Amino acid sequence: MAKNTESNVYTVLFATGMVVIVGALLAFLASSLKEKITENKRIEKQQNILYAMGVNENEPGSVTFVSKNIVGGEFSKYITKQLVITGTDAVEDENAYLIDLKKEEAAAKNTNYQRRLPLFIGNKDNIQYYIIPVRGKGLWDAIWGYVAIDNQLVVQGVYFDHAAETPGLGSNIKERFFMDDFKGEHFLDGDLFKGISVSKGNADPKNMDKTDFEVDAIAGSTITGDGLAAMLKKDLKLYLPYLKTLKQ
Amino acid sequence: MGLLSKKDLKLITDPLADNNPITIQVLGICSALAITAELKASIVMSVAVLFVMGLGNLTISLMRNIIPPKIRIIVQLIVVATLVIIVDLVLKAFAYELSKTLSVFVGLIITNCIIMGRFEAFALANGPIRSFIDGVGNALGYALILIIVGFFRELLGSGTLLGFKVLGDPIEKTGVYAFGYENNGFMLLAPMALITVGIIIWIQRSRNEALIEDN
């Protein structure tokens, strides 16, 4: 075949053709699958929120959400109220869980903007849970999660997730052995806000001390752990004015 | 008669031993260091690369007569990236849980130099079927090293295999920990992956002197 693949004209034509074909293919796929992907993300959010307040199908060592088919029903059963907090006001909004934390945080850089803070109130076995979404930076990319606390402001459960932490190291923040350590931890010392830090040094590996404001770190994931502690500090603090009204 | 001719079979067996992409050609080292702290991550990455390499090699081989040589590297990159993105999108829509596990690996697959290396060295000059076999063979060679390294790093670093505590519980001090054994946290860090790969290279070359380069 006497095709001159060396010529400039051919090269430019080939490049143009390839870009058009690949671009069209990807755009078509992305837009036709968009609805399904958004729906999956919505379901995942509900599963994560429920997971944090202890509604899950965990077996020892596993992290298992309530299944996709029943999550909608379980969500409306256990989550009794969804609030949007702006300043000191709290209004009910049944779609508060769809608020994009990333956009809110970016918008809040403008000092005139009143940041909307979503808060979910759950009830399981007659215990009230207040579930706070958090979002921050890990080593490579975003990390986020949900922290469930009771009306004494003690952590009762967490769920963490990440976009791209190192597999086997930082990615372990979404494993049971790490998340379970947060149960029972305090982040307030009397009225003083302390946060929960992720500490190296093997000071309390069994995590017996619940009022030391720290959990045991994961080996080999210092920056992810520090990022996670910073995230908790930054976002839990935002809710403090509202949370303090609960304790009285 | 077997399914594969002797020559084709060599395309699979060579990369497993004497022409291993990691230990002999020293390609794909970056991902071998990054994700081998756990056996599970090694296996997931291996399967993903197997899939992309096979299909990528096949696609490039089918296009080999029409790719302009001046921009061939860019074309190869586009092919890999497109394949990976399509898989990622489809998984996100139909197997969301699986896509969550794989999402971390997407970037690592696109930049894996074994894939580009095989496109350049093999798929551009050979027919589609042989290219596909070559892709699978090299991915298996890559997988072998990844799994060996992952095995030792997880065992010595965390005392577990695929998450199971095979050596006992380090906190409750059961199993070997009762005798004062400690996990070696250093195994979890990238330098030890490099040293582990180095040890494999050493063993391999001491067993087969033909692999040692003249200086």
- B75-117 pLDDT per residue, tens: 998 988 898 888 888 888 888 887 887 777 777 788 788 888 8
A171/B contact by beta carbon, under 8 A = yes
**pTM score over 0.90:** no
Task: State the pLDDT confidence band at B215, using cuts at 50, 70 and 90.
Answer: low
What token pair was written down for A225?
């752990």
Whether B36 contacts B28, CB under 8 Å = no
B107/A contact by beta carbon, under 8 A = yes
A vs B, Cβ pairs < 8 A, gives: 96
Using CB atoms, pick whichever of B40, B96, B103 lies closest to residue A40.
Answer: B96
Angle at B137 between CA B136 and CA B141, to 5 degrees: 115
How confident is the prediction along chain A (248 residues), in pLDDT tens digits per residue? 446 778 889 999 999 999 999 999 999 999 999 999 999 999 999 999 999 998 988 887 778 898 888 888 999 999 998 999 887 778 888 888 888 888 988 888 888 888 889 999 999 998 999 999 999 999 989 999 999 999 888 999 999 999 888 877 888 899 888 999 999 999 988 888 988 989 887 777 777 777 788 888 888 889 999 999 999 999 999 888 888 887 66
Whether A153 contacts A243, CB under 8 Å = yes
A169/B71 Cβ within 8 A: no
Residues of A in contact with B92 (CB under 8 A): 33, 37, 40
Q: Cα separation of B97 and B103, whole Å? A: 10
A6/B contact by beta carbon, under 8 A = yes
Q: Which amino acid is residue B188, in one-letter code?
A: L
Average pLDDT of chain B is 85
Using CB atoms, pick whichever of A5, A26, A30 lies closest to residue B66.
Answer: A5
Angle at A101 between CA A98 and CA A104, to 5 degrees: 110
Angle at B149 between CA B146 and CA B155, to 5 degrees: 130
Return the closest-CA partner of residue B38 out of B163, B141, B164.
B163
Question: pLDDT digit string (tens) for B56-69?
Answer: 999 999 999 999 98
Return the closest-CA partner of residue A137 out of A176, A163, A169.
A163
B74/A contact by beta carbon, under 8 A = yes
What pLDDT score was predicted for residue A218? Answer: 87
What pLDDT score was predicted for residue A2? Answer: 47
- Decide the pairing of beta strands A79-86 and A89-92: antiparallel
3-state SS, residue A35: helix
B154/A40 Cβ within 8 A: no
Q: Give yes or no for residue B2 having a pLDDT over 70.
A: no
Residues of A in contact with B183 (CB under 8 A): 219
Q: In what order do the strands lie in the sheet with A127-137?
A: A89-92, A79-86, A117-124, A127-137, A142-149, A155-162
Using CB atoms, pick whichever of B37, B66, B78 lies closest to residue A169.
Answer: B37
Whether B35 contacts B102, CB under 8 Å = no
Exposure string over B133-166, b if 16+ CB within 10 A, otherwise e: bbbbbbbbbbbbbbbbbbbbbbbbbbbbbebebe
CA atoms A139, A141, A146, A152: torsion sign: positive
Q: Cα separation of B76 and B120, whole Å? A: 8
Percent of chain B with pLDDT over 70: 97
Q: Cα separation of A97 and A79, whole Å? A: 11
B182/A contact by beta carbon, under 8 A = no
Q: Angle, nearest 10°, between helix axes A71-78 and A8-52?
A: 40
Q: Cα separation of A178 and A53, whole Å? A: 16
CA-nearest residue to B32 within chain A is A167
Q: Give yes or no for residue B200 having a pLDDT over 50.
A: yes
Return the closest-CA partner of residue A169 out of B167, B95, B107, B33.
B33
What token pair was written down for B31?
């991902």
A29/B70 Cβ within 8 A: no
Q: Exposed, middle or buried by CB within 10 Å (0-12, 13-18, 19+), for A96?
A: buried
Please state the domain extents for chain A: 42-247
A25/B70 Cβ within 8 A: no
Q: Which of A8, A22, A57, A180 would best serve as a mutation to test chain B binding (most B beta carbons within 10 A)?
A: A22
Q: Cα separation of A244 and A246, whole Å? A: 5
